[in-house]
Structure 1
């Protein structure tokens, strides 16, 4: 209401990825209400018309996000508090004020997403007859939130690495964690691994030949096949993988090594959920990409040449190896002690 200060509600605790206690938001399929000539459309009418207009060229996720940002939750709450119902009441300043009020509540990246949908709404109103918003610009002058640079996942410490392995359930789950830590495989490559590829584990030294991933079965991200070995810490993993695949893997017509059940291969999202559960049990923030960082860091600290790491990791440049490496003061001091200086 006019004269009172709008206080945004605190951000709720984000649900774990594997928490399915609440259903997903419904898809943006509601038909927009028609605007009669001379009628006075509301902000909600314009938002629904925008979503309907982009029904064919926006993805389902984008449509659902647009509905969440413009029609549900914080933005409608703020408009109701300010007494704004109709589109001709909405101004660029109101949107700027909304973003300023929520700057301490929402992440900059969330505000940046809202800004994108607000700009789309403003542009739609400028171009679409019947949705006049004289106080609303085309959205290009909306302030851009300062989004901090995304920090790459840091490698696990040796103690955290041991806790993650110990927290994984023996069998499939532990072998997945150990394989990621031992080889530095990308999660898509792990999920595409087939029982036929395990035959090279019998070689000396054991190795895996990676020929593709879940998105492209015949081409890796680096666009070429590569050979990966195993860290000495996990020297027993190749033998354990062979034994598990022969005796404990569920019988299935599928050739993928890791399965959700007899009829479904494990997906990348399934591995993400698994790592989150293991990390929660171990008290460590854990995901497959962080395990790849850990692999690169352990190999570099052990003295594996950078160019060899580049080949093993499937990177196009040595600079990528540097980005995946997590420096440690203790490791730096230990490395220095090996040299006569």
Structure 2
């Protein structure tokens, strides 16, 4: 029996396994996952998985941890994978490898869908069973990570000044002053910017994962571009008037790469993260898309915005998530809020 508690030597990748689509007339585990990722229909919206979802499935089910687990268990074919293996893997991944409960739940969902697909299309019934269906994931083992404080106004100004181009400055300002998700920001088209409205707004109608669907049903919304400041409309006009911007570009934010037909590719999430890492190195200020979202939420709440209004701006299905994003813990914010109360 393999010892699942035996420490794994960090920093070493298992030797790459070259997998054929079939061996001895049987479908390998790797090929089974590939077919599931490419052909399965999402249970949420009834549509094929997006490219981002397919990449996520491949990372979780073909990546190093599960490959190592299968190698130690001697599993090469999809019909050898059982629900007991899935449960054992999830326990090992959480309690020994230290993955948080949110990650475990995501992998559990993917393993459930893989089992259903394998049973229906690949003749592999062993992965479907009660053990995986009954598995409950506890958040108790999660490490308590220190919460990043919100950006100060001085830090926000420093990041805006350090941005090298009109595009990068607008990206930082949009994240900071609208609170939108990065996947929503990069999906924006020029027509989603309505400077003709009073006040000017940005229309959130989709994400880079799906042009017609946001993360939650509450995600379809309009966000004023003048919340707490008047900078955003000016930056948008400068960005759209940039002489280096391709004529007729549809997406609001473009990358520096060219497609085969000569068009400029849209900016992707990886490019946004790279840009923010450069800013972080230049300024020494830790910045990522969700620190901006926490900052926007906290600034608006401390300024007295109603919780339900803030929930709508952030695109949350419940006010519980607004409380999660709130990072105000200073007594000054409490005192200022109290000073506004009149009985």
TM-score, with length taken from structure 2: 0.62
Indicate yes or no: 2:196 matched with 1:213.
no
The answer to whether the 8 A contact 2:40-2:117 is kept is: no
CA contact (8 A) 2:206 2:220 kept: no
Question: Which residue is 1:75 aligned to?
Answer: 69
- The 1:64–1:319 alpha-carbon spacing in structure 2 relative to 1, beyond 3 Å, is closer
Determine the structure 2 residue equivalent to 1:33.
23
Q: Which residue of 2 aligns with 1:9?
A: 9
What residue in structure 1 maps to residue 241 of structure 2?
246
Give the whole-Å Cα distance in 2 for the aligned partners of 1:98 and 1:275.
Answer: 33
Q: 1:186 to 1:126 in 2, by over 3 A?
A: closer
1:303 matched to 2:287 = no
Q: Which residue of 2 aligns with 1:22?
A: none
Q: CA offset at residue 298 of structure 1?
A: 0.6
Q: Distance in 1 between matches of 2:315 and 2:90?
A: 45
Q: CA deviation at 1:12?
A: 7.0
Shift of 1:340: 8.7
The alpha carbon displacement at 1:325 in A equals 2.1
* CA separation of 1:64 and 1:241: change in aligned 2, threshold 3 A: closer
Q: Shift of the alpha carbon at 1:254?
A: 1.4
Cα pair 1:32 1:48 within 8 Å, conserved: no
2:267 and 2:298 map into 1 onto residues whose CA distance is: 27
Taking the aligned partners of 1:176 and 1:99, their CA distance within structure 2 comes to 40
Aligned to 2:131: 140
Distance 1:317 1:210 in 2: 20
Please say which structure displays the higher CA radius of gyration. Answer: 1
Q: Contact conserved, 2:192 with 2:204, CA < 8 A, in 1?
A: no
In structure 2, C-alpha distance between the alignment counterparts of 1:172 and 1:108, rounded to whole Å: 35
The whole-number CA distance in structure 1 between the counterparts of 2:176 and 2:217 is 19
Cα separation, partners in 2 of 1:8 and 1:98, compared to 1, 3 Å: farther
Partner of residue 151 from structure 2, selected from 142, 153, 157: 157
Give the superposition deviation at 1:176. Answer: 1.0
CA spacing shift, 1:336–1:244, aligned 2, 3 Å:
closer
Secondary structure of 2:131's partner? coil
1:94-125, Cα deviation, whole Å (9 max, x unpaired): 98599559834342556667777888999999
Displacement of 1:300 in angstroms is 1.6
The 3-state SS of whatever aligns with 1:226 is: strand
Tell me, in whole angstroms, the C-alpha distance in 2 between the residues paired with 1:101 and 1:317. 30
Counterpart CA distance in 2 for 1:111 and 1:196 is 39
In the alignment, which residue of structure 2 is the partner of 1:57? Answer: 40
Partner of 1:105: 97
Q: Residue 256 in 1 paired to residue 248 in 2?
A: no
**1:140, distance to aligned residue in structure 2 (A):** 1.3
Deviation of the 1:64 alpha carbon = 6.1
Q: Is this contact kept in 2: 1:46–1:131, CA < 8 A?
A: no
C-alpha change, 1:30 and 1:301, in structure 2 (3 Å) is same
Alignment partner, residue 181 of structure 2: 186
Residue 238 of structure 1, CA deviation: 1.8
RMSD: 5.4
In 2 relative to 1, CA 224–160 (structure 1 residues): closer, same or farther, beyond 3 Å?
same
Structure 2 residue aligned with 1:226: 222
Out of 58-67 and 141-150, give the one that drifted further.
141-150
User: Matched residue of 1:275: which SS?
Assistant: helix
User: Is the 1:195–1:255 contact (alpha carbons within 8 Å) kept by the matching residues of 2?
Assistant: yes
Deviations 1:145-182 (A, max 9, x none): 64457989866231543443344324211221012212
The CA deviation string for residues 193-227 of structure 1, in whole angstroms up to 9 with x for no partner, is 444555626x7x75224162343469995375524
Aligned pair in 2 of structure 1 residues 156, 319: CA closer, same or farther (>3 Å)? same
Question: What TM-score, normalized to structure 1?
Answer: 0.63
